[in-house]
Structure 1
């Protein structure tokens, strides 16, 4: 890629203005200035094998939420992706990330604008020792270009399909903090278990997540499959995947599917519907002659999340957002289960 030479040959000015803080905990140094107790870390992923031969001191992250892993572990990245979904105050940082930065008494890292894809030059300007992207949609070309800057950890199997536990596992391993990452997973699981116990009414209910519902044309219904991290989060919350969604998901590797509204009766096994939208969307579903026949719609068991607000964003679970959203999300699900929404 012709950009590569520009990425590697950084200007003096860029070096002086590189990212604000942060590094992993300072390594013990040997006579050569390296870490005395670091062993090379090898991470296999869908786009290759990455070797991290020295302890990272400057951590950059790209794509959605990867920065939450080092932050949760007390490491402030030198650069991270700017939030472009659910950012209610327009500062490029989601509220649970801002709270964690405040807890660490840290400035906001350099924010990478990924509106038109990864800003390779901006990433290179932060001079990272490692680039975390365990939850991402990196192409092979993206990966190869980033690898010219620093070792890159990509997703394990499928683009945008890494569950939150594996995101933590891969990214923490790359930092040499695998044990801390495992403890983080255990801690989050404990918080989830404690919160779910307060809402026994939803335990065992089946849920589906409708997506991209067009209130002006309800002839088709799109929904996230069980491959998507939003629907996988249902299991953490004590919900189950209805057989109608599970069987359809088994036939594809896609994250969403579309069905004709004429087949709405196939979703008779859905107890709760979650979707992005407003009261107008709920009214449209309830007023549609076909979709209103779905038991979940008929019962009013619909959770409509604000797609452009943090609450809707957190339905896609990430290491820091889970604790932030748990009570609100569970409360909405419980209300829907009771047909109160």
Structure 2
């Protein structure tokens, strides 16, 4: 199994696990609806304060750049074609664009965005400025203070994360994008659509309610356990699952959204169900049948679901595009694992 740590935490652990969910949930899952010009122009100037500093957006942005995870999807769902987006080096194809983002861009039309190199998790201000943006949106990202200062120093307002790298709740990220674009009402409608989608899935599977779950991956003998601060865990909890005390008790404080677990402590992961990642089905099967993995009670029982391949893994991270794109697949696999857990 490979390290699937953040989708997006492309700087924290390895870019292999930036995980997400997809395509088009503005007023309907199929077609983002642009706001009227009057609503888009309302509420400016707007000042947004984050962990790296305050930024003021004087008027409704027309040339929007994004960085990190999820901002691109929110911008597209709000009916705006971004001029620059980060490369998706995990679930993107040869063009480094995730399939759900490609679908959203195609529906909006317009020019293909500049693809910013995100492979090293370092933002190149020079590369960004070639797209002549009038705002950079990075509410869920690993943007550094130096990068923030360079971009704002070049005259481009930056909306970064409110508190810490890779910790912004996914709903808050969508709200921040909406605020920055002058489309807060539209962002609220998108969130209502997303919540309804998840609520419908939870209602269809009452067995999820109160069932404990652990989100886990393994890379080169290191086991990564995701914590409630991770948006992927948050969406599982929205479906009705709960994070058991045995998971949070293993948190060593080494990361904001994950912790590592040594093999001798794997039996302390006391979840009813485990959701794990595998780059291929063979890799997942090898992991799930390994002696170490079978120390985890749920895996030993067979109450384990696997998301296989970059695209499927990425569908778990909630965005206005990934959720409609991949929720059914995820729910189906969780239902099967939960049936085993409760069988």
TM-score, normalised via structure 1 length: 0.82
| Paired position in structure 1 for 2:328 | 327
| Paired position in structure 1 for 2:104 | 100
Q: Secondary structure at the match of 2:249?
A: helix
Q: Secondary structure at the match of 1:238?
A: coil
| Paired position in structure 2 for 1:49 | 54
* Structure of higher RCO (CA pairs closer than 8 Å, 6+ residues apart): 2
CA displacement at 1:145 relative to structure 2: 0.8
| Paired position in structure 1 for 2:307 | 305
Task: Kindly provide the CA deviation profile for residues 16-72 of structure 1, in whole angstroms up to 9, marking residues without a partner as x.
Answer: xxxxxxxx86857xxxxxx98553101111111111112212111122231111110
Structure 1 or 2, whichever has the larger Rg, is: 1
Moved more, 155-164 or 254-263: 254-263
1:207 equivalent in alignment to 2:213: yes
Q: Aligned to 1:154, which of 148, 156, 160? A: 160
| Paired position in structure 2 for 1:76 | 81
1:111 equivalent in alignment to 2:115: yes
CA separation of 1:202 and 1:221: change in aligned 2, threshold 3 A: same
Q: Aligned to 1:58, which of 60, 63, 73? A: 63
Q: Secondary structure at the match of 1:275?
A: strand
* Partner Cα distance (1:25, 1:322) in 2: 21
Which runs of 5 or more structure 1 residues have no equivalent in the other structure?
A: 1-23, 29-34
CA displacement at 1:123 relative to structure 2: 1.2
CA separation of 1:25 and 1:326: change in aligned 2, threshold 3 A: closer
Moved more, 36-45 or 74-83: 36-45
CA RMSD across the alignment: 2.3
* Partner Cα distance (1:125, 1:271) in 2: 50
* Partner Cα distance (1:336, 1:139) in 2: 39
Q: Secondary structure at the match of 1:131?
A: strand
Moved more, 198-207 or 312-321: 198-207
| Paired position in structure 1 for 2:273 | 272
* Partner Cα distance (2:271, 2:140) in 1: 29
Task: Kindly provide the CA deviation profile for residues 159-196 of structure 1, in whole angstroms up to 9, marking residues without a partner as x.
Answer: 01112101101111011111111111111101111123
Q: Secondary structure at the match of 2:119?
A: coil
* Partner Cα distance (1:136, 1:287) in 2: 34
The answer to whether the Cα contact below 8 Å between 1:300 and 1:339 also exists between their aligned partners in 2 is yes
Task: Kindly provide the CA deviation profile for residues 209-250 of structure 1, in whole angstroms up to 9, marking residues without a partner as x.
Answer: 112343xx4xx5331122222212211221110111133449
Task: Kindly provide the CA deviation profile for residues 134-167 of structure 1, in whole angstroms up to 9, marking residues without a partner as x.
Answer: 1110110011011123000000111011121011
The answer to whether the Cα contact below 8 Å between 2:139 and 2:162 also exists between their aligned partners in 1 is yes
| Paired position in structure 2 for 1:10 | none
* Partner Cα distance (1:183, 1:106) in 2: 24
Moved more, 256-265 or 133-142: 256-265
| Paired position in structure 2 for 1:286 | 289
CA separation of 1:284 and 1:66: change in aligned 2, threshold 3 A: closer
TM-score, normalised via structure 2 length: 0.81
The answer to whether the Cα contact below 8 Å between 2:214 and 2:225 also exists between their aligned partners in 1 is yes
Q: Secondary structure at the match of 1:101?
A: helix
* Partner Cα distance (2:296, 2:60) in 1: 54
